[in-house]
Amino acid sequence: MPEPTVAYRICPLCEACCGLEVELRDGRVAAIRGDREDVFSAGYLCPKGVALKELQEDPDRLRAPLVKRDGRFVEASWEEAFAEIERRLPPILARSGQRLERRFERDTAALAIGNPTAHKMGLLLYVPRLARALGTRNVFSASTLDQMPKHLSSGLMFGHWLSIPVPDIERCDFLLMLGANPLASNGSLWTVPGFRAKARALQARGGRLVVVDPRRTETARLADRHLFIRPGSDVFFLLGLVYVLFDEGLVRLGALADHVAGVEAVREAVLPFAPERVAGRCGIAAETIRELARALAATERAAVYGRLGTCTQRFGSLSSWLVDVVNVLTGHLDAPGGAMFPKAAAFAANTMGAPGIGRGVETGRRRSRVSNAPEVYGELPMTCLTEEIETPGEGQVRALITVAGNPVLSAPNGPRLAAALETLEFMVSVDVYVNETTRHADVILPGLLPFEESHYDVAFPQLSFRNHARYSPPVLAPPPGRPAEWEILLRLAAIAEGRGADAADATEADIQALDDEMVSEDLRRRVGAQADLLLQAVAPWRGPERLLDLALRGGPYGDQFGRRPDGLTLAKVKAAPHGIDLGPLAPRVPEVLRTPSGKIELAPALLLGDLKHAEEDLATPAPDLVVIGRRDLRSNNSWMHNLPVLAKGPQRCTALVHPADAARCGVTDAGPARLTGAGGHTVTVEVKVSDEVMPGVISLPHGWGHDLPGIRLDVAARRPGANLNALLDETLRDPLSGNAVLSGGPVRLEPGSA
């Protein structure tokens, strides 16, 4: 038997981005372990990383394109698949197409981008090229299902959508966490592998972890204190904290004093939200709110962190904003042990251009055709996709391209979206599975799997608890003749731009020439006459690697194309298989700011304006019974349920029901029940009676419902679970960010039959 070899790889299955040690034997993956020498994750590994072996070998994943003929999928060559797209997509685009100076404007097509896109370098760097080629306002992504409120509040406060402060947990002594469960998620908009050990270290040095959540989560069980909160009321709890900071004279801006605008405006805005007034709505006693505000103000190194639960509600943008308002007012923003801004080695806009001042962000540059919803961060709300397909008129969506997404399960009211997808004239999916969404496609184009591609985390170093740079070369050789996903997207872009029939059967040289043209055009817009010199400097690389070398060399630690010889280049990062540590987080204000004023905007008008709606809602009685989602360590949205190593064990798609609610509704532990949403949709669930949830709350994990016809997910279909999002109202969203309201929807619970 040949001796095994070892390769190193960054895990792409969640935001922890752990380093892997991959043992190879006979050209196959034999074992996967955590890389103990990885400068960032230091050997930590969750079950998802081990499952990469099964993903690589999954018999259900696609190995060739599929084209639908007479209602059935048949395997096709790449030339046949692209020829089908060339034949059917351009005529649809032409109906509403008009050529502008540098782009098209054609809204008969839409682009829907899924969560895995953020975990693959080629997809994340080349999806914008496809979007530009399509020229449509109809761009949707999973960001409006879980995180857009934080992008909006951060953009308004600090000047860029990805200037998101994260807890400096290694030096923090008091961490207040809302609606987050990093023991299951490994961090979300906060890349923090091995959270358990870091939390234990915080506690060992005398620090405290307090979790506020409607469920006693895995993280809450680890915490020093857990407080139940009514779903959707985080905004009132946070407003109560801010009120106390002003009311009791606890505001201390510290080093930020000269860099904050709007403190007095916030003081006036929170006057209606005394703890004694908001306590009943959020379910947390007024004295507890005051006690926590005092503790935050009195602790030298403290931070507030809010995540999914604070975003997926009507006041998601306000809640996301108030998290950082508290951090600013207590002097904990941009301070060691507080909430700090990472300094990424590449692709971070807040490290580019003139430091300390910028254009800021704006929303509503475009609006959706049917609901008039504003664009935020270049996207429209995912919950608008269905109506844009259904509603006749000029600009009606008749063609759709999905990229690594499954909105039929991940978006509210998936049954309505599924019906709408069937009415499209043409649909293309870039995906490795026939899932609940791609089953509706006319053409499915499978990309390479993670071990077959190089990787660099484009987004997550901008959200990491420590600065670093890590690159992974391919672990396995890609199958002959299989294009990488970035090449697939470039071919689709060529077809969308009407580059002629040769776009369908483009050679590798043609794709390289197209990439050269697009990179050159982008560089000339940014740096003018220097573009040729920069292109010459990165000439050894192609595709995503070329873009990465450009970003690293021009980044804050880069060699500046030879002007700083000891700086980073892709070659240097590639030569460090365990990564390069770039040190702990450090204060960055005012350099990090990109607001027009050059200050932290504590009181953006858009957010202050929504407070009147929050005050109105404060007087509205809460529903008797509501549903919230749940995350599991062995799952990530809907795309890991077909891997046996993750699917084994106890049933995870259960409805947690408090004993009092179970008795009131007549349901029993392990028994079946029916959950009905406000819109009348019903799903059958398995009940688990537990005081893990507060009374009046049912918890059902999201991303399940693998029992629809036409999918090819054998393992997932054996234990399909119930689709939480089928119960939810797709018309409800945070109007500022467009984020779907996925938490706190009213439901009815009744006994069911097996």
Question: In the prediction, which pLDDT does 200 show?
Answer: 98
- Distance from C-alpha of 555 to C-alpha of 560, rounded to nearest angstrom: 8
- Distance from C-alpha of 257 to C-alpha of 337, rounded to nearest angstrom: 18
Q: Is 646 helix (H, G, I), strand (E, B) or coil?
A: helix
| φ/ψ of residue 455, rounded to 5 | -150, 140
Contact 317, 282 (CB under 8 A): no
Q: What is the mean pLDDT of residues 108-113?
A: 97
- Distance from C-alpha of 596 to C-alpha of 683, rounded to nearest angstrom: 49
The burial class, CB within 10 Å (0-12 / 13-18 / 19+), for 47 is middle
Both tokens of 243, joined, read: 């009120």
How many C-beta atoms surround the C-beta of residue 330 within 10 A? 29
Question: In the prediction, which pLDDT does 102 show?
Answer: 44
Which residues face 104 on adjacent strands? 99
Alpha carbon 295 to chain centroid distance?
A: 31
* pTM, full prediction: 0.97
pLDDT (tens digit per residue) in 557-613: 999 999 999 999 999 999 999 999 999 999 999 999 999 999 999 999 999 999 999
pLDDT (tens digit per residue) in 246-267: 999 999 999 999 999 999 999 9
Lowest mean pLDDT among 423-432, 629-638, 665-674: 629-638
Q: At what angle do helices 121-134 and 485-496 cross, to 10 degrees?
A: 0
- Distance from C-alpha of 488 to C-alpha of 502, rounded to nearest angstrom: 14
DSSP per-residue codes, 563-623: TSTTSB-HHHHHT-TT-EEEEE----TTTT---TTSSEESS-HHHHHHHHHHHHHHTSPPP
| φ/ψ of residue 522, rounded to 5 | -60, -45
DSSP H/E element including 157: helix 148-158
Q: What is the mean pLDDT of residues 475-488?
A: 94
Per-residue DSSP letter, 483: P
**Which of the four pLDDT bands, split at 50, 70 and 90, describes residue 499?**
confident
Q: What is the mean pLDDT of residues 116-132?
A: 96
Lowest mean pLDDT among 3-7, 97-101, 225-229: 97-101
pLDDT (tens digit per residue) in 58-109: 999 999 999 999 999 999 999 999 999 999 999 999 987 555 444 456 899 9
Question: In the prediction, which pLDDT does 510 show?
Answer: 82
Higher pLDDT, residue 392 or 649: 392
Contact 111, 131 (CB under 8 A): yes
Reference 624, options 664, 656, 659; nearest CA is 664
Q: At what angle do helices 485-496 and 78-96 cross, to 10 degrees?
A: 40
Higher pLDDT, residue 529 or 235: 235
Q: Which residue has the tokens 């009348």?
A: 680
Question: In the prediction, which pLDDT does 498 show?
Answer: 86
pLDDT (tens digit per residue) in 336-356: 999 999 999 999 999 999 999
pLDDT (tens digit per residue) in 156-166: 999 999 999 99
How many C-beta atoms surround the C-beta of residue 224 within 10 A? 14
> Has residue 505 got a pLDDT over 70?
no
- Distance from C-alpha of 198 to C-alpha of 719, rounded to nearest angstrom: 34
Q: Is 209 helix (H, G, I), strand (E, B) or coil?
A: strand
Q: What is the mean pLDDT of residues 26-49?
A: 95
The b-or-e profile of 51-82 (16+ CB within 10 A means b, else e) is bbbbbbebebbbebbbbbeeeebeebebeebb
Q: What is the mean pLDDT of residues 169-184?
A: 97
Q: Is 8 helix (H, G, I), strand (E, B) or coil?
A: strand
- Distance from C-alpha of 364 to C-alpha of 192, rounded to nearest angstrom: 33
AA identity, residue 322: L
pLDDT (tens digit per residue) in 300-316: 999 999 999 999 999 99
Q: Which residue has the tokens 């046949």?
A: 80
Q: Which residue has the tokens 């935001």?
A: 15
Higher pLDDT, residue 728 or 512: 728
- Distance from C-alpha of 66 to C-alpha of 63, rounded to nearest angstrom: 9
Q: What is the mean pLDDT of residues 693-701?
A: 98
Question: In the prediction, which pLDDT does 529 show?
Answer: 84
Question: In the prediction, which pLDDT does 426 show?
Answer: 98
Question: In the prediction, which pLDDT does 101 show?
Answer: 46
